Amino acid sequence: MANYPGNSKLNMTNTPSLSLVIEPKELQTIQNNEDILIVDLSSPKQYQQAHIPEAVFLDYAHIVGMNQPYTGLLPETDQFEHIINSLGITKNTQIIAYDEEGGGKAARLIWTLHAMNHTKASMLNGGLIAWYREKFPLNSNRVISQANPNDQHYKVDFNLQPVVANTEYIIENLENNAVALLDARNIDEYMGQAKYAQKTGHIPGAKHFEWSRAMDTEANYRLLSKEKLQPMLDELGLTKDKEIIVYCQSHHRSALSYLMLKYLGYEKVRGYPGSWSEWGNRTDTPVET
């Protein structure tokens, strides 16, 4: 990891890998580890106003691709590789991501990292909301990486299928009882009463579990406990024995659904980049309302 101006990173490379979801108190105790990189995916305005000390800013727009009308695609490999190396990330870097909205953007970064087989990534539970409300320190000093991306050699490869589902894969598995779909959009989108693509409705057989249901607003937007989440999903038939494919409009909200399922211990989870912006704009995709 590159050092940043004013940092005094500690050499703690033998620290065990962190859990997928970590608490603010835990982050405070390890944030000076030289292999830790805290990544802020809040809005630029929010980052300028206040962020977690040591956190580098990453614009969410830079980690998603677009090919109108499809949005929320995987980023271009070269673009994402440049970002990874610009931040000084190596295979040993433990990334801790957070945002100001409850975790959607942070989870999308983690899913993208998983898609390139970088599994040393965690989400700060509750993100900036929990950190601020529980009175952990903030500052407004921009952290600038000293890494030279041309000197780094972390190669990005998105040809790793276990966490990515494309349209063809979903069509092939619509009748597969071992595969289930989770639609993380709001109920109006799911029922076809809101239109954000040429077609409205949902993918046939998809179960509705709006992304925000995973959040505990009374606990500063942390994920609900596993004991509360699992029965909710089981009731919908989204059980651990199945492969679950998550989607929303652009795999932003459903990225949190992906992380929620991994947090619960689901072994087979895929995100659908493009999501309804692709499915709802193609002519060869069936829909239900």
Catalytic residues: 248
Tokens in use for 77?
């490999």
CATH number of 161-279: 3.40.250.10
The answer to whether the CB of 248 falls within 8 A of the CB of 194 is no
Name the percent of the chain in helix, strand, coil, to the closest 5.
35, 20, 50
Spatial CA neighbour of 39 closest among 109, 133, 138: 109
Task: For residue 71, give both structure tokens.
Answer: 């949005």
**Interval 238-269: pLDDT, tens:** 999 999 999 999 999 999 999 999 999 999 99
At 222 the three-state DSSP class reads strand
* The domain defined by 21-151 carries CATH number 3.40.250.10: yes
- Residue 145's pLDDT band (cuts 50, 70, 90): confident
What confidence category does residue 159 fall into, taking pLDDT thresholds of 50, 70 and 90? confident
Compute the distance between CA of residue 52 and CA of residue 25 in angstroms, rounded to an integer: 12
One fold for 21-151 and 161-279: yes
Structural domain spans, the chain: 21-151, 161-279
What is the per-residue pLDDT for 220?
98
Q: Is the pLDDT of residue 116 over 90?
A: yes
- pLDDT (0 to 100) of residue 144: 84
Sorting pLDDT into bands at 50, 70 and 90, what band is 13? very low
Q: Which pLDDT score, from 0 to 100, does residue 16 have?
A: 53
Tokens of 171: 């069509």
Model confidence band, residue 79 (pLDDT cutoffs 50, 70, 90): very high
CA distance 12 to 29: 12
Residue 88 has pLDDT above 50, yes or no: yes
- Rounded to an integer, the average pLDDT of 150-160 is 83
What is the mean pLDDT of the segment spanning 147-173?
88
Indicate the pairing of strand 65-67 with strand 70-73: antiparallel
Q: How confident is the model at residue 87 (pLDDT cuts 50, 70, 90)?
A: very high
CA distance 211 to 170: 20
Over range 186-215, report the average pLDDT. Answer: 98
Closest by CA to 28, choosing from 106, 98, 85, 105, is 98
